[in-house]
Structure formats: structure tokens, C-alpha cells
Amino acid sequence: MDAFYASVEVRHRPELRGRAVVVGGVGPRGVVSSASYEARRYGVRSAMPTMRARALCPHAVFLAPDFARYTAASRSIMQIFRDVTPLVEPLSLDEAFLDVSGARRLFGPPAAIARRIRERVAAEQGLTCSVGVAPSKFVAKLGSTRAKPDGLLVVPADQVLDFLHPLPVAALWGVGERSEQALHRLGLRTIGDLAQAPIGMLRTALGEAAAVHLHELAAGRDPRRVSPEQVEKSIGAETTFDVDVDDPTAIRRTLLALAEKVGARLRGAGQVGRTVSLKVRTADFRTVTRARTLDVPTDVAREMFDTVWALYTVLELGERIRLLGVRAEGLTAAVETPRQLTLGEREHGWREAEVAADAAAARFGRSVIGPASLLSGRDHRRNENPTRP
């Protein structure tokens, strides 16, 4: 997908069309998650500090991410893919590999299938995507990158090397900044240079595993198949405070808001987690993690919040907090894990309320629900902590 988070926000707020839009942390320690192409013209990029993005593009509209909205859009887009082939391997909310070998009799050649997908995504979702078509995952990925924005690039099998070899070595999977520098010192600047280099020279510079991996890719060889059953190992959310905090009220509300995000993502993915973990980073950058395994896997924010709050209250750090994180691990499919009521729990309770909140967020945006919406006055009275929201 093209600038996915930003594009979904523009679809939700059409008055932003044509304007520079940046999605990410909006505070002084925030990081850019997505930027519209109007913002990218000013040098704004993903993973850039928000403060730097503001300096480069001060007239941009800066928005906090709404993952419920992005998850709902992603689910609809992935269904379009699965209408073409069951062999869909999602890489993230906005990217996937499709093996269309078995779809050609029904939908035509791969290029026609790619055009059909792009047309459906645009017509049904009001979003654009860029597609690379090639014999392997690696080359298809490169093709989609080169086709951006809103483009299509087909690399036939007999043209793979002509496509690959002029590209810089940094285009290869597994070549980071240090590896690129090592290859440049050997005089290897293009993928073609690397393909012609003796494997022994690469082993000396990069080590056995990296040398073999890059040599194979440079020759256009990537035997990996599309794996549609790839399952996430964990789902989490974290936040860095603009100013270090030690106020229990702010910490409690933040943990609840993070648990809500994790719960919404779990339900959106149809998964539940058996282990809930807490991450705390103090002002001096010391990181502490704690985890607890539940009797029954959950996708309920309230249950995760109760767990991480209990973990936090026994830490007794005595320091200001820079970052908090909540994560669900040990994921399994929700449909394969029948939910059991705990002692004293009503048949319809927190989960039903959260599902209703998901539906409202998908239609109107998470902001209508409000942060930390699951904390009630009754909860305050039950909590023994004298400083609480």
C-alpha cells in the first residue's frame, strides 16, 4: 500500500487530500510512522523523529495513529487478495506476498491479475497500492518498491538479471549500512558487481552465511515460497512520554490505554494471548520487563490491564518513567480457544463492551471512544492505591 496510514487518514478526512500529512507520535519524542507523498517531497520519512519532520515540513498536518482504523482497512484489503488466491502471506498491515500461479486460468496472466487487484483496491477502498510481479518474492518486493507510488512493475523471468544488476547493493535484503560499507571497500557498488565477485572474497568481508545469502540473491535466486499460515508471535504497543513521569495516575491511565490498543489489535487479528508482559524504561534508560502467564488466553483489554498494573505496582522503581509498553505473547487463534468465564464474572461483560467499542472505532475513529475508556468510578473505589484516576 502507498503511504498506508497517511492514506487511510486522508480517506477518513477528505479535506486533507493534496496536503502534507504525517502520522506518528506527535510529542517531542515521537517518531514518524507514515508520511503522505506531499510530505515526502520535503524529506519527511518513516522512522524520522517527529521534531525533525516538523522542521522540514512545518505546514504539514500531524496526526496520532489510529490502529483500529488501519486494521479495519487492512482486513478489507487482505480479503481482496484472498479473493484472487488463498496463498497470501501478510508481512504487515499494508503489505503481502501473493502466489498467483493457480489463479491464471481464472483471472489471466500475472500482469492482468495485478491490474485487477489495483482496480479493486482503488474502487472498494479508495486507496492506492503498488504491485511488483516477478518469479520470486525478493524480486517482486523490489518491483513493488520501484513502482511506487500507485504503479505496477512486471519483471519476467528472462529479465530478472537485467532488472537486478544495475541496482545498488543496498537494495539487497540483508545489506545494512555496515555491510554496504564493507562491500564498497571491495569496490562492489551494484548488485551486478556482487554477482560477479568470488564467493571467497565475500566470505572474508561478510562471513559465511551473509556471503552465501547475498550471492544467491544477486544471481536472482530466491527459493522461498509464499507462506500463508505465518502467525504473529506477539502483539504489543508502547509509548514514550514527552516528559518523564512519576505520577501514578498518568502511569495507570497510560497502561490502560496501551492495553486497549493491544486488545483491539488482538481482536482484529482473531487471536488471543496467554502471556501478558510489561515493559518499563526509566529516565536513566534502564529497561525492566515482567510477564505473567494467564490461566486462560485473552483478548480483553481489561484483563491485560489488571495484569500489567499488578506487575507494575510490585516493581517499586522509585524513578521517573520514560517509556511504558504492554504486550500479549503466546498467541493462538481465538476460534480455537473457547472463552471460559472466571469466578464471579458476568456472561456479558468487558469483552462485549470492548467489541462494541471496536465497532464504533471502525466507523467513527478511535478518538470517539476516548483514551482509557474502560476505567470506571467503581474501579477506582476497588483499587487500594490512594493515588488513582
Which residues carry a binding-site annotation for Mg(2+)?
94
Catalytic residue among 9, 89, 95, 319: 95
Please give the Cα distance from 255 to 238 (Å, whole number): 9
Give Cα 146 distance to the centre of its chain: 21
Phi, psi at 48, each rounded to 5°: -80, 140
Please give the Cα distance from 80 to 237 (Å, whole number): 27
* Sequence ranges of the binding site: 94
The vertex-380 CA angle with 321 and 347, nearest 5°, equals: 110
CB 2 within 8 A of CB 39: no
Residue 288: what residue type?
V
CB atoms within 10 A of CB 382: 9
CB 388 within 8 A of CB 249: yes
CB 132 within 8 A of CB 155: yes
Please give the Cα distance from 329 to 131 (Å, whole number): 32
Residue 331: what residue type?
L
Q: What is the dihedral of CA 16, 19, 22, 26, to 10 degrees?
A: -70
Pure H helices in 148-247 = 160-164, 177-185, 191-196, 199-206, 208-218
Which value, in Å, is the radius of gyration of the alpha carbons in the chain? 24
Residue 95 falls in the annotated catalytic set: yes
CB 53 within 8 A of CB 39: yes
Please give the Cα distance from 185 to 199 (Å, whole number): 16
Phi, psi at 60, each rounded to 5°: -70, 155
Residues taking part in catalysis: 95
